């Protein structure tokens, strides 16, 4: 049976809904919308049409979103809501092929996470005495040549021709809608690669570099890949050079480009960064770049609120509480459809609250800044207790609460008579 047939089966939609509910609260907007989608069986038209051949996906829309922590833009592609939802279930069902993905790839997998990579790296003996190579692939998702991507799809999905044909057709169209500055829609022709932003793109990003993953796995190298981020740990500099040459060779064959600006070699004792974390002297903390991104976001948001306060004559309490609420959502709320939150990514793996304290102090500084619009002593007339009343929720405190839940011993109960 083709996986495409399961897209019109309500049991699988219900299973997918329950899976998402394990990570998201009932009031989450995505959960509410998905529940309605499943209840009304709004997937039927597309799902049945894909099996019969009467339905063909429309072109995706090419758009850009702000890159996290910078003013740069990231190109993504979006299909319509119903088409996207159908691809989400398909992506969920593609877990069937997870066993074909090499064990040293940690991205977008159900039984293997970034935390597993961080924990495995942390346990390497004499880690502080190692050489480390960090490689980033430039614009990975969208630069994958579609002609080579379909070869990877065919190799991986070798038992479901209908599904394989659907995915090949989806990724070889090489066209997209684009809205210009006058909001006029045109059709552009370009290599779209794995189409960042499309649900099934994560699966494609994993399988496309399987050759590279397996090459290093066979060599027994300490190699870790999370999508476009690669980390290699070695005993000597000569090994690093050898491994870098292998990466260069395969990346070139795959039609990809290494981001030279992010290429970095760390020597023994220097420490290194990976996936937003820093490893040094046996401690896992936030990377400096991670801290700087958060501080930059706090600064920009506070200045925006100060401009609004001056323009509308708002009170300090309103502006400060809005700033606190904004970052409480960023840090803790589970509004994103995959249940991802900033704290959920970092808290399980860091072993110190040092950088969290830096962020806490920065947020306090900018909440106080909203009282005068300047960085002056008078700002400290606003006491810490007042900041808490306005909604400030320190990361340090939340981190230790999280740690305490991991360390609490199970409650012993007497055996029944």
Task: Measure the CA–CA gap between 314 and 310, rounded to whole angstroms.
Answer: 7
Lookup: tokens for 414: 């007497």
Could you give the 3-state DSSP secondary structure of residue 215?
helix
Residue with tokens 């597993």: 116
59: three-class secondary structure by DSSP: coil
Tokens of 277: 């974390």
Q: Percentage of the chain with pLDDT > 70?
A: 94
Helix pair angle (395-407, 354-369), 10° resolution: 150
Query: 287-303 burial by CB neighbour count: b if 16+ within 10 A, else e?
Result: beebbebbbebbeebbe
pLDDT of residue 163: 97
Higher confidence at residue 398 or residue 111? 398
Per residue in 51-93, pLDDT (tens digit) is 999 999 999 999 998 776 556 788 999 999 999 999 999 999 9
Per-residue confidence (pLDDT) for residue 355, from 0 to 100: 98
- Which is it for strands 229-234 and 131-136: parallel, antiparallel or unpaired? antiparallel
pLDDT in tens, 183-194: 899 999 999 999
What mean pLDDT comes out for the span 118-138? 97
Give the C-alpha separation, 146 to 192, whole Å. Answer: 7
Residue pLDDT, tens place only, 334-392? 555 555 689 999 999 999 999 999 999 999 999 999 999 999 999 999 999 999 999 99
Give the integer Cα–Cα distance in Å for 78 and 196: 9
Angstrom distance (rounded) from CA 238 to CA 250 = 19
Other beta carbons within 10 angstroms of residue 233's beta carbon come to: 22
């Amino acid at each position: 049976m083709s996986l495409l047939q399961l897209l019109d089966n309500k049991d699988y939609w219900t299973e997918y809904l329950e899976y998402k509910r394990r990570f998201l609260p009932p009031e989450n907007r995505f959960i509410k919308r998905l529940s309605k989608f499943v209840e009304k069986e709004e997937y039927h038209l597309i799902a049945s049409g894909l099996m019969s051949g009467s339905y063909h996906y429309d072109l995706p829309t090419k758009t850009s979103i702000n890159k996290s922590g910078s003013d740069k833009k990231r190109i993504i592609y979006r299909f319509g809501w119903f088409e996207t939802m159908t691809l989400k279930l398909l992506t969920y069902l593609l877990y069937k092929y997870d066993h074909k993905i090499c064990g040293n790839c940690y991205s977008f997998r159900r039984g293997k996470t970034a935390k597993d990579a961080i924990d495995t790296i942390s346990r390497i003996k004499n880690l502080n005495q190692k050489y480390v190579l960090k490689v980033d692939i430039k614009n990975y998702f969208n630069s994958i040549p579609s002609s080579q991507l379909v070869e990877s799809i065919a190799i991986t999905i070798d038992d479901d021709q209908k599904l394989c044909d659907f995915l090949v057709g989806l990724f070889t169209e090489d066209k997209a809608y684009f809205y210009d500055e006058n909001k006029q829609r045109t059709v552009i022709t370009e290599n779209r690669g794995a189409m960042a932003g499309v649900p099934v793109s994560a699966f494609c990003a994993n399988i496309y570099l399987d050759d590279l993953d397996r090459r290093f796995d066979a060599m027994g190298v300490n190699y870790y890949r999370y999508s476009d981020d690669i980390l290699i740990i070695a005993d000597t500099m000569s090994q690093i050079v050898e491994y870098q040459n292998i990466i260069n060779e395969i990346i070139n064959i795959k039609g990809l480009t290494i981001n030279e600006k992010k290429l970095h070699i760390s020597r023994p004792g220097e420490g290194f960064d990976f996936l937003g974390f820093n490893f040094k002297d046996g401690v896992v903390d936030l990377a400096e770049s991670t801290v700087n991104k958060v501080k930059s976001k706090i600064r920009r948001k506070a200045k925006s609120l100060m401009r609004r306060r001056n323009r509308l004559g708002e009170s300090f309490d309103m502006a400060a509480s809005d700033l606190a609420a904004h970052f409480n959502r960023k840090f803790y709320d589970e509004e994103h459809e995959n249940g991802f939150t900033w704290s959920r990514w970092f808290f399980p793996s860091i072993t110190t609250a040092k950088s969290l304290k830096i962020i806490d102090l920065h947020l306090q500084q900018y909440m106080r800044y909203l009282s005068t619009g300047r960085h002056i002593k008078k700002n400290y007339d606003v006491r810490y207790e007042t900041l808490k009343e306005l909604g400030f929720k320190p990361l340090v405190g939340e981190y230790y609460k999280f740690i305490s839940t991991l360390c609490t011993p199970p409650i012993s109960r007497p055996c029944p008579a």
